[in-house]
Amino acid sequence: MPIPSYGAAPLSKTFLLVRVLQVISMIIIVGITANFVSLIVSSGIEPPKEFVGTLSVTCIATLYCLVSIAFYWSEANLGLFVMSGFDSLLLIAFIVVAVTVGKPLSFLNCYVIGKASSKEAEAASAYAFTESVTANLNIVGNKLYLGNWAGATKANCFETKAIWGLSIALCLLFTTSCILLPTLFYKNKKAGAAPKSVDV
């Protein structure tokens, strides 16, 4: 089944590429975030609200994107405007996710984690993290802060920054799809218009 052109084949293919990149980015975010939430919950602590929010928004967005590809392929002409509206809402949601996740991470340097200037400083840092975790262990309503989780290990730091980076990338991708969808609608309308009759 060929890719619908909507009167502008290059733009149509670009939209499908953007949609595939969105789905791939969101699947990666869901995988990393779900793993973090599982690890944190198994230790008896409520996960950071940033992770829970990111996971919720990303799961809903992934489902929508997968369904929208089928509608796009079935040449949903007026549906392009509806999809543009949903993409705009998801753009706003991912801007909120990027800002919320990025706020505690912006000053965190992953390369210096585990390279403390002295053994005493490293031990003090590990002790502070352990005290934070044990103080909140198995107490309902107590949560681990995102900065504490990301700063615990170098792997946590890089994976959390990957979530942040992919959220920013999704902002750009949803902006692109918000621009492409109405453009494809107008191109399709223009291509489908009947030619004017010429009087001789």
Which span out of 4-8, 82-86, 125-129 was modeled with the highest average pLDDT?
Answer: 82-86
2-6, 124-128, 190-194: range with highest mean pLDDT = 2-6
- Per-residue pLDDT, 113: 77
pTM: 0.81
Three-class SS of residue 106? coil
Q: Which of 190, 181, 199, 197 is nearest to 76 (CA)?
A: 181
With 0-12 / 13-18 / 19 or more C-beta atoms within 10 angstroms meaning exposed / middle / buried, residue 47 is buried
Higher-confidence position of 136 and 33: 33
Report how far residue 116's alpha carbon sits from residue 19's, in angstroms, rounded to the nearest whole number.
43
The rounded distance, in Å, linking the Cα atoms of 103 and 119 is 29
Chain-wide mean pLDDT for the chain? 83
What is the mean pLDDT of the segment spanning 29-52? 89
- Read off the pLDDT of residues 96-113 as tens digits, 9 standing for 90 and up: 999 999 988 888 888 877
If you search the block for the tokens 């003090």, which residue do you land on? 124
Q: What does the alpha-carbon distance between residue 29 and residue 20 come to, in Å, rounded to a whole number?
A: 14
Q: What is the pLDDT of residue 128?
A: 59
